[in-house]
């Protein structure tokens, strides 16, 4: 009797999951990888958040070094994550500034896979800089990987395994 109710529970959960998964798969709209901010106020608040995040990561690095925690591998990896997050925030701030607060760069969609970057004036170097700065995932992904590795290392150093149970 207990097995039967457990099987019904598992079957019911599986059917619910598959229903939601198939609905999302077949009835979803186009997803785009960029986000627009509502009006100039949204951009300014977003820019302030990037500056605050970068400042916070700088403070984290300062305190890690001040307390000599970077001798431990986990904290050292977290320090590297904070450094990459600072670089990512500076990069994102710059791109948002060029995108939303100046009229120097204009990006036009040519088709689904191609865009054209137009620079007002004759500086093609700014277009190349803008294109490279838009590759901000090259800074954010390593930051997340370092953060994950550092937290995992700290977890192992505290004597816990991956399931969260203390080792005896």
3-state secondary structure (DSSP) of residue 116: strand
Residue in 103, 123, 61, 122 with CA at minimum distance from that of residue 86: 61
- 116 beta partners: 108
Answer yes or no: do 90 and 131 share one domain: yes
Answer yes or no: do 86 and 116 share one domain: yes
Answer yes or no: do 83 and 27 share one domain: no
Residue 168 falls inside a structural domain: no
Confidence bin at 168 (pLDDT 50/70/90): very low
pLDDT at position 42 over 60 = yes
Answer yes or no: do 26 and 48 share one domain: no
Answer yes or no: do 108 and 73 share one domain: yes
Residue 167 falls inside a structural domain: no
Answer yes or no: do 85 and 143 share one domain: yes
Answer yes or no: do 20 and 50 share one domain: no
* Count of structural domains, the chain: 2
Tell me how crowded residue 60 is: count the other CB atoms within 10 A of its CB: 18
Answer yes or no: do 5 and 56 share one domain: no
Mean pLDDT of the residues in the chain: 86
Answer yes or no: do 27 and 46 share one domain: no
**What confidence score (pLDDT) does residue 116 get?**
86
Residue 163 falls inside a structural domain: no
**What confidence score (pLDDT) does residue 84 get?**
98
Burial environment of residue 8 by CB neighbours within 10 A (0 to 12, 13 to 18, 19 or more):
exposed
Distance, CA of 58 to CA of 110 (rounded, Å): 40
Q: Decide: 86 and 58 in contact? Cβ < 8 Å.
A: yes
Residue 96 falls inside a structural domain: yes
Q: Decide: 86 and 54 in contact? Cβ < 8 Å.
A: yes
Residue 77 falls inside a structural domain: yes
**What confidence score (pLDDT) does residue 57 get?**
98
Residue in 75, 74, 77 with CA at minimum distance from that of residue 143: 77
Residue 149 falls inside a structural domain: yes
**What confidence score (pLDDT) does residue 120 get?**
84
- Domain holding 14, by residue range, is 1-31
Residue that wins the pLDDT comparison between 144 and 103 = 144
**What's the longest Cα–Cα distance across the chain?**
78
DSSP conformational letter for 134: T
Answer yes or no: do 1 and 68 share one domain: no
Regarding beta strands 115-119 and 105-109, do their DSSP bridges make them parallel or antiparallel, or are they unpaired?
antiparallel
Distance, CA of 12 to CA of 32 (rounded, Å): 33
**What confidence score (pLDDT) does residue 90 get?**
97
Residue 166 falls inside a structural domain: no
**What confidence score (pLDDT) does residue 33 get?**
58
Confidence bin at 28 (pLDDT 50/70/90): low
Tell me how crowded residue 106 is: count the other CB atoms within 10 A of its CB: 11
Residue that wins the pLDDT comparison between 6 and 30 = 6
Answer yes or no: do 23 and 45 share one domain: no
Answer yes or no: do 26 and 96 share one domain: no
């Amino acid at each position: 009797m207990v097995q039967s109710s457990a099987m019904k529970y598992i079957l019911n959960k599986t059917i619910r999951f598959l229903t939601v998964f198939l609905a999302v798969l077949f009835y979803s709209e186009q997803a785009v990888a960029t986000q627009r901010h509502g009006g100039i106020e949204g951009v300014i608040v977003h820019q302030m958040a990037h500056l605050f995040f970068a400042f916070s990561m700088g403070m984290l690095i300062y305190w890690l070094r001040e307390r000599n925690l970077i001798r431990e591998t986990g904290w050292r990896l977290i320090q590297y994550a904070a450094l990459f997050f600072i670089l990512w925030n500076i990069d994102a701030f710059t791109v948002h500034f060029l995108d939303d607060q100046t009229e120097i760069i204009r990006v036009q969609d040519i088709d689904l896979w191609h865009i054209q970057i137009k620079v007002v004036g004759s500086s093609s170097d700014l277009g190349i800089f803008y294109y490279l700065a838009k590759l901000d995932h090259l800074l954010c992904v390593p930051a997340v990987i370092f953060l994950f590795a550092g937290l995992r290392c700290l977890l192992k150093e505290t004597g816990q395994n991956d399931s969260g149970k203390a080792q005896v």
